[in-house]
Amino acid sequence: MKTEHIRNVVLLGHSGSGKTTFVETMLFESGAIPRRGNLEDGSTISDYTNIEKEKGNSLFSSLMHVHWKDSKINIVDTPGLDDFVGEVVSSMKVADTGVVMLNAKGGVEVGTELIWEYIEKFKTPALFVVNHLDNEKADYQSTLDQARARFGSRVVPVQYPLSTGSSFNTIVDALRMVMYQFDDSGGKPEKLPIPESEIGKAQAMHNALVEVAAENEEGLMERFFDEGTLNEEELAKGLTIALANQEFYPVFCCSAEQNKGSGRIMGFINDICPSPADRQSARLEGGEDLPTDASGDTTVFIYKTLSEPQVGMVSYFKVYSGTLHSGDELVNVENGITERFNQIFVAEGKQRTHANLLVAGDLGVTVKLKNSHTNQTLNQKGVTRSIEQIDFPKPRIRGAIGEVAKGDIEKLIKSLHQIEEEDPTLVIEQSASLNQTILHGQGQLHLDLIKYRIEKVNNLKYDYVRPRIPYRETITKTVNAHYRHKKQSGGAGQFAEVHLRVEPYVEGMAEPSGLSVRKTEVDDFAWGGSLVLKWCIVGGSIDAKYLNAIKKGILQQMEDGPLTGSYCQNIRVSIYDGKMHAVDSNDMAFMIAAGQAFKEAFEQASPQLLEPIFELEVLCAGTAMGDVMSDLQTRRAMIMGMDSDGHYQKIVAKVPLVELYKYSSTLRSITQGRAKFSRKFLEYASMTPDIQQRVIAMAKE
């Protein structure tokens, strides 16, 4: 199969838009499978894992392919739930066309809004398919109007239905100027002339398509002006250019459930959609471009990995350059390790068929690569280029691992890190300061899927508990304090006395009043904030050799703050006096004295507990806005702004991290899944005295 005959399409859409049923229909219509499976009995080719069959939803991307006319069409079906956006992003990385499914009953849903951000980011050519036209509440025109309002005038209808609901059986195609009529069983339609009553509407739509084609090719524009139309070959050429340049987003009609319309869409993918060779060159790390050329040096990019029972690590990849043969050895550019591709496959969901070779642009599968993972590039020996990595979305929720049987802890951590290697949207944090293992994910469903996999595959049990909050401690006023450490227990004793001043630190503040600064040390902490230590000893009451021990004692207290055991930050400490003993003073004594003096001063300096504040952005339907706002008010949120985004409402708020626990599940519940959110760390801020007292009391318990 030549690169020019390959089509890589990714099915995108909100949950329930019908992607999995649509791909099942494509497989059946192309002859790839003898009969169509369905979601109810878990027999679809795409959703083949046990958990997908149990949940009735796509949770992983899956790779399939069909042969239609001249093309091999690789199809990547993706989840519609926002929790599994990582599967969508990785699939879009390797696709050349996005097929965006719209539910004719629900219109442009919030999941589509999320997907569109990535279509624009990846500059992916896309077409729309209005599905579920057989539903009694289907509204094709409203769905089309919403798409054009949200995504602009480049959304151009190619087809429209004569009727929707139970009577849906006819599609008018304005590109080919023909009417398709289906019998009750769907499948291949009868081609009929467009009725006189529809000719005017169809001709106007056809003229709009001709204009799109002509505008994207100078020679075609001249011919269009001369003759007023374009022939079929010219029209296809112009539309291919327009689609590849994202100047044109065609809209098609179908009922995936009734097998009506998929064949025409596959025909359009074959005739008009770009091959990998028609797309812009792949971007390399460092900014250079890599053309899709089967005769070039071989470069492969792994866009997805998944561990399967009895199989091991399964790697999904795209050949970006050259030709990959079964048995080839490639070098991982990230770690320098050579991997042998003993077997390469083309996929049909879970079923895999051996392939002898795959050319540039094609998608494939291999198994048992030992040291290569998602987002890594492998090249033939002597080549060191690296495909630009996928920028996966940052985590949005946290969950902590509860109590685990003592003998299972090491096995659990190992299993979690293996999943983390497969899924870059999952981050495992073993927090020493919080004394918890915390999972950062995209949503509660995402974390629940991790738990399911650990329990089923590794036979390890655990529950999620509320993660602790990484508070910070500081002070709000200046205090002087001293502490004498004296210990006699036979032989050499311990003696040290330290006098110090603690102050709230802000950059650019004046030197401490009444003190003579001899030396200043600044420590910027990984956890944020600083310690500024000033040595103000005059007359040698403490030898300068004890400065490091004094600093160590203060740092120990700052790493385990007096209020809640949280990190301290933004404090200036001036050491201005003290005493030492010629025999009994040592580093340990001064470390203890400094630590205790700091603790006493801190507790008297009106200590303040700081909590992490996040900027939360919620996109929801206007009908759900009141419920979303009410819920945010219960979370101590400060609303920063409200605006419209397409036909959705956007709310921006500042919310304490502690109040975002299980927000993903709550938002899904109060909006019936018609909302999405993102969050990012904003700042540490002080809390009200009553809340601070409550948090301190809980910490002491």
Both 64 and 194 in a single domain? yes
Q: In this prediction, what percent of the chain has a pLDDT beyond 70?
A: 98
- Does residue 486 register a pLDDT over 80? yes
Q: Kindly report, residue by residue over 635-668, the tens digit of the pLDDT.
A: 999 999 999 876 789 999 999 999 999 999 999 8
Write down the pLDDT at residue 458.
87
Q: Quick count: other Cβ atoms within 10 Å of Cβ 652?
A: 14
Q: Mean pLDDT, to the nearest integer, of 318-342?
A: 97
- Does residue 626 register a pLDDT over 90? yes
Tell me the residue range of the domain where 296 lies.
282-379
Q: Would 222 be classed as within a structural domain?
A: no
Write down the pLDDT at residue 82.
87
Q: Mean pLDDT, to the nearest integer, of 166-192?
A: 95
Taking a C-beta distance cutoff of 8 angstroms, is the pair 485, 494 a contact? yes
Confidence of residue 546 (pLDDT cuts 50, 70, 90): very high
Cα–Cα dist 628/170, whole Å: 41
Beta bridge pairs of residue 156:
250
Which of 553, 571, 606 is the endpoint of a domain?
606
> How many domains, the chain?
5
Q: Quick count: other Cβ atoms within 10 Å of Cβ 8?
A: 26
Q: Quick count: other Cβ atoms within 10 Å of Cβ 370?
A: 10
DSSP structure string for 337-382: -EEE---EEEEETTEEEEESEEETT-EEEEE--SS--TTEEEE-TT
Q: Would 240 be classed as within a structural domain?
A: no
Write down the pLDDT at residue 272.
94
Cα–Cα dist 344/315, whole Å: 10
- What are the angstrom distances between the C-alpha of 389 and each of 176, 284, 290, 374, 651? 40, 8, 14, 9, 31
Q: Would 213 be classed as within a structural domain?
A: no
Q: Would 204 be classed as within a structural domain?
A: no
Largest CA distance in the chain: 113
Q: Is 688 exposed, middle or buried (0-12, 13-18, 19+ CB in 10 A)?
A: exposed
Which of 231, 263, 278 is the endpoint of a domain?
278
Total residue length of the chain: 701
Both 454 and 322 in a single domain? no
Taking a C-beta distance cutoff of 8 angstroms, is the pair 500, 571 a contact? no
Of 148, 170, 150, whose CA–CA distance to 159 is shortest?
A: 170
Q: Mean pLDDT, to the nearest integer, of 304-315?
A: 88
Side chain identity at 622, as an amino acid letter? G
Confidence of residue 261 (pLDDT cuts 50, 70, 90): very high
Confidence of residue 53 (pLDDT cuts 50, 70, 90): confident
Write down the pLDDT at residue 310.
79
Write down the pLDDT at residue 594.
97
Confidence of residue 224 (pLDDT cuts 50, 70, 90): low
Taking a C-beta distance cutoff of 8 angstroms, is the pair 512, 572 a contact? yes
Cα–Cα dist 280/289, whole Å: 9
Both 157 and 191 in a single domain? yes
Side chain identity at 413, as an amino acid letter? I
- Does residue 574 register a pLDDT over 70? yes
Confidence of residue 90 (pLDDT cuts 50, 70, 90): very high
Q: Mean pLDDT, to the nearest integer, of 425-454?
A: 93
The CATH number of whichever domain residue 287 belongs to comes to: 2.40.30.10
Write down the pLDDT at residue 58.
87
Q: 219-233, 377-391, 511-525 — which is least confidently predicted?
A: 219-233
Question: Beta-strand (E) ranges in 547-694?
Answer: 567-568, 571-579, 608-621, 638-645, 648-656, 675-686
Which of 606, 629, 650 is the endpoint of a domain?
606
- Does residue 457 register a pLDDT over 80? yes
Both 504 and 544 in a single domain? yes
Q: Mean pLDDT, to the nearest integer, of 552-580?
A: 95
Both 289 and 268 in a single domain? no
Both 259 and 347 in a single domain? no
Both 582 and 634 in a single domain? no
Both 585 and 625 in a single domain? no
- Does residue 112 register a pLDDT over 90? no
Taking a C-beta distance cutoff of 8 angstroms, is the pair 205, 157 a contact? yes
Q: Kindly report, residue by residue over 73-87, the tens digit of the pLDDT.
A: 999 999 998 899 999
Q: Would 530 be classed as within a structural domain?
A: yes
Cα–Cα dist 383/401, whole Å: 43
- Does residue 117 register a pLDDT over 90? no
Exposure b/e, 96-132, CB count within 10 A at least 16 = b: bbbbbbbbbbbbbbbbbbbbbebbeebebbbbbbbbb
The CATH number of whichever domain residue 686 belongs to comes to: 3.30.70.240
Both 354 and 316 in a single domain? yes
Both 17 and 73 in a single domain? yes
- H or E stretch including 393? none
Q: In this prediction, what percent of the chain has a pLDDT beyond 90?
A: 79
Both 438 and 504 in a single domain? no
Both 46 and 92 in a single domain? yes
Cα–Cα dist 55/449, whole Å: 10
Q: Mean pLDDT, to the nearest integer, of 443-453?
A: 92
The CATH number of whichever domain residue 34 belongs to comes to: 3.40.50.300
The CATH number of whichever domain residue 441 belongs to comes to: 3.30.70.870
Write down the pLDDT at residue 622.
86
Write down the pLDDT at residue 699.
86
User: Looking up tokens 């009444």, which residue turns up?
Assistant: 514
- Does residue 55 register a pLDDT over 90? no
> Cα 86 to chain center, whole Å?
4
Q: Mean pLDDT, to the nearest integer, of 276-305?
A: 94
Q: Would 179 be classed as within a structural domain?
A: yes
- Does residue 226 register a pLDDT over 70? no
Q: Would 171 be classed as within a structural domain?
A: yes
State how beta strands 571-579 and 530-535 pair: parallel
Q: Kindly report, residue by residue over 235-252, the tens digit of the pLDDT.
A: 888 899 999 999 999 999
- Does residue 29 register a pLDDT over 90? yes
Confidence of residue 488 (pLDDT cuts 50, 70, 90): confident
Write down the pLDDT at residue 228.
66
- Does residue 150 register a pLDDT over 70? yes
Q: Would 470 be classed as within a structural domain?
A: no
Q: Kindly report, residue by residue over 461-482, the tens digit of the pLDDT.
A: 999 999 999 999 999 999 999 9
Write down the pLDDT at residue 225.
65
Q: Mean pLDDT, to the nearest integer, of 307-313?
A: 83
